[in-house]
């Protein structure tokens, strides 16, 4: 390598696709992006535990993957699906992993190695893979690499993104940017977009080993047709962080295991792998992967398993049989595609291309269904296993001040779900809405609802429902040390900041006292597929009820403040009011108070319009009382 090349490499930021099944590192310069090692690196790590109970990495990549059946309990794979999640999130998936997982600190999932004193976090396992990629990249470039752009599924939440950054830090890498995987793929696809051909509308369908994402983007070249920056604007994104090739493998594993159980005369079980030793579980998973790969190129595949000394299991799986099993799996991806098109306000016919990303897109049924739904053959010229890393390298090159492939780009990505805080009465006040472009910032003013309140708790939530209890709590923090003030007087400014990595920070400032609080929201675990599905589906199903409930809750909170203020002044200045006017106010106060009490018991029991009219009527009628109160205050002064 020349000195000039070495100098450039020393400043290089590499791009990394940290995948569920395989991982890749790439680098981009003026000649364009390229991968930094010929072979994919399986995201598999084998550990050894010494006599003191300390675990250390024994093998990473192909060597660990090839001997996983020999070391089933100390070989860790598919750990990306555990990043930023709890044991409850993982659920029944745990039995199919081949290694043991347990609950760790703050309910997070951890890997348990036999004989080890401590549990391993998924970040530590991912760091071993990243460290191997870093080593290979440094050898290829001839200089030590210390910075990287790392890709994540678009539907990764704050905890999962932060877990990815932590893994990078443990591997000795500064993660300078986190980029959504379908967006990275679009960067690779759209390299050289400044060719004067006009804007292109592209959908990126990304089905990997553990996750699925689809994004709709508009790629706009420089207005003058020069090599100026192209704009990559994400219009919408949808996906599922628990949907990938691993699920297809598990369908075959369940088929094989169920038939082996029947052959051995074992009782039926919801967990078909129960009772099988870890080595057998690993072997079944490997057989399932091999059959799936064979059926992508041929019409049938045969599996033969020596169960024990006297029993052999053998059966042939046809492509038609596999596709019948996989159809609901593929249909879940298609539903997300349709949602992404709706959110982007475009139709399939508006698209110029559909780009396939991820190894699972090699499944013939996937390609056929994508072509059917989008009305065009998908674009497959780019290697689906490497395109994300190449796109990450393009972004890395731009951040390093280079022009990969002779061009440059400006990237405008989005967040997948709305963000807000819980307000009085349990309502969810959204500050940043889903599919908003990042980086994003929003501020909102709030106040207290109780006299003398000296601290305020903020519950940060994520989701599409109108009530906080129906959304996912991302974290809580307290603004303390406020001077006692009457309800409604404090002026609390809450600001949400989502950076270019999709990581959320929340700050609060009470203007009168100057008190401040800030929190980088990193929840202990992320959103499950069911929760994401429920949030979005129920937001539509219950939209009318949610809006009404939110409105009633706000009316209760504001009415209580009015009743308190008006009631106090009515008693204080009653003697200065005409008896008929005072009686009128008494009646209106009692009417509104009764409606508030009824609404607190059951928000459905009141008519929101009537309650609003009662509150507005009392507000208008109390103007004269307010004038009397002000005049009295002036006399006292």
Active-site positions read 17, 80, 181, 206
Beta bridge partners of 509: 493, 516
Q: Are 491 and 447 a contacting pair, CB within 8 Å?
A: yes
> Which structure tokens are listed for 361?
């897109």
Peptide bond into 2 cis (omega under 30): no
Q: Are 158 and 504 a contacting pair, CB within 8 Å?
A: yes
Task: Give buried/exposed letters for 42-54 (b at 16+ CB in 10 A, else e).
Answer: bbbbbbebeeeee
Q: How many CB atoms lie within 10 A of CB 330?
A: 22
Beta bridge partners of 421: 429, 460
- Sequence-ordered strand ranges (E) for 11-161: 14-18, 22-29, 32-35, 41-42, 44-49, 55-60, 75-77, 100-103, 109-112, 147-152
- The conformation of residue 86, written as its DSSP 8-state character, comes to B
Q: Write the CB contacts of 277 (distance below 8 Å, at least 6 apart in sequence).
A: 72
At residue 414, φ and ψ (nearest 5 deg) are -135, 165
Length of the chain: 637
Q: How far apart are CA 458 and CA 516, in angstroms?
A: 12
Tell me which H or E stretch contains 431.
strand 428-432
Task: Give buried/exposed letters for 61-91 (b at 16+ CB in 10 A, else e).
Answer: beebbebbbebbbbbbbbbbbbbbbbbebbe
DSSP labels, 441-505: EEEEEE--SSTT--EEEEEEEESSSSBGGGSEEEEEEEEE-PPP--TT---EEEEEEE-TTS-EE
Looking from the CA of 116 toward its CB, the CA atoms found within 13 Å total 21
Q: Are 125 and 132 a contacting pair, CB within 8 Å?
A: no
Torsion of CA 377, 382, 385, 387, to 10 degrees: -120
């Amino acid at each position: 390598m020349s000195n000039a090349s070495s100098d450039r490499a020393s400043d290089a930021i590499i791009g990394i696709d940290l995948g569920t099944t395989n991982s890749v590192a790439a680098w981009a310069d003026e000649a364009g992006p390229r991968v930094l090692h010929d072979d994919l690196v399986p995201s598999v790590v084998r550990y050894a535990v010494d006599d003191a109970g300390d675990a250390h990495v024994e093998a990473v990549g192909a060597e660990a993957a090839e001997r996983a059946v020999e070391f089933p309990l100390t070989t860790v794979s598919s750990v990306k699906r555990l990043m930023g999640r709890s044991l409850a999130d993982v659920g029944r998936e745990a039995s199919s992993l081949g290694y043991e997982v347990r609950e760790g600190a703050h309910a997070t999932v951890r890997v348990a190695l036999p004989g080890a004193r401590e549990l391993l976090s998924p970040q530590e396992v991912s760091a071993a893979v990243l460290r191997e990629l870093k080593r290979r990249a440094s050898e290829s470039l001839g200089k030590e690499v210390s910075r990287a752009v790392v890709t994540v599924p678009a539907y990764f939440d704050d905890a999962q993104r932060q877990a990815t950054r932590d893994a990078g830090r443990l591997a000795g890498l500064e993660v300078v940017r986190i980029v959504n995987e379908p967006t990275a793929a679009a960067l690779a696809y759209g390299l050289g977009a400044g060719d004067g051909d006009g804007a292109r509308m592209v959908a990126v369908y990304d089905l990997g080993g553990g996750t699925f994402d689809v994004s709709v983007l508009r790629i706009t070249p420089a207005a003058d047709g020069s090599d100026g920056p192209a704009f990559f604007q994400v219009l919408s994104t949808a996906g599922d962080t628990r949907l990938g090739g691993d699920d297809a493998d598990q369908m075959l594993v369940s088929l094989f295991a169920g038939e082996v159980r029947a052959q051995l005369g074992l009782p039926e079980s919801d967990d078909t792998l129960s009772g099988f030793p870890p080595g057998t579980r690993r072997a079944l998973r490997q057989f399932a992967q091999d059959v799936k790969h064979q059926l992508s190129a041929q019409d049938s595949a045969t599996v033969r398993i020596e169960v024990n000394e006297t029993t052999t299991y053998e059966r042939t799986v046809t492509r038609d049989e596999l596709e019948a099993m996989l159809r609901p799996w593929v249909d879940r991806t298609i539903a997300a595609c349709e949602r992404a098109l709706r959110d982007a306000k475009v139709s399939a016919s508006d698209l110029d291309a559909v780009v396939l990303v991820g190894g699972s897109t090699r499944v013939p049924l996937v390609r056929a269904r994508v072509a059917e739904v989008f009305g065009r053959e998908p674009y497959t010229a780019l290697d689906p296993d490497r395109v994300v890393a190449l796109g990450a390298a393009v972004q890395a090159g731009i951040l390093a001040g280079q022009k990969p492939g002779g061009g440059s780009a400006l990237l405008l990505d989005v967040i997948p779900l709305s963000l807000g805080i819980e307000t009085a009465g349990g309502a969810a006040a959204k500050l940043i809405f889903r599919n908003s472009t990042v980086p994003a910032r929003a501020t909102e003013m709030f106040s207290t609802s109780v006299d003398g309140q000296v601290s305020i708790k903020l519950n940060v939530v994520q989701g599409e429902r109108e009530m906080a209890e129906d959304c996912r709590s991302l974290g809580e923090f307290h603004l303390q040390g406020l001077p006692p003030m009457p309800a409604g007087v404090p002026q609390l400014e809450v600001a949400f900041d989502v950076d270019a990595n999709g990581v959320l920070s929340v700050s609060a400032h009470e203007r009168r006292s100057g008190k401040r609080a800030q929190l980088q929201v990193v929840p202990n675990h992320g959103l499950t597929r069911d929760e994401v599905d429920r949030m979005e589906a129920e937001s539509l199903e219950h939209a009318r009820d949610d809006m009404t409930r939110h409105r009633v809750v706000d009316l209760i909170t504001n009415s209580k403040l009015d009743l308190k203020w008006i009631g106090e002044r009515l008693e204080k200045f009653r003697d200065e009011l005409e008896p008929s006017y005072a009686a009128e106010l008494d009646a209106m106060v009692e009417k509104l108070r009764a409606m508030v009490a009824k609404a607190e018991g059951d928000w459905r029991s009141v008519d929101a319009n009537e309650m609003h009219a009662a509150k507005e009527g009392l507000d208008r009628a109390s103007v004269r009382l307010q004038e009397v109160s002000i005049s009295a205050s002036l006399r006292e002064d």
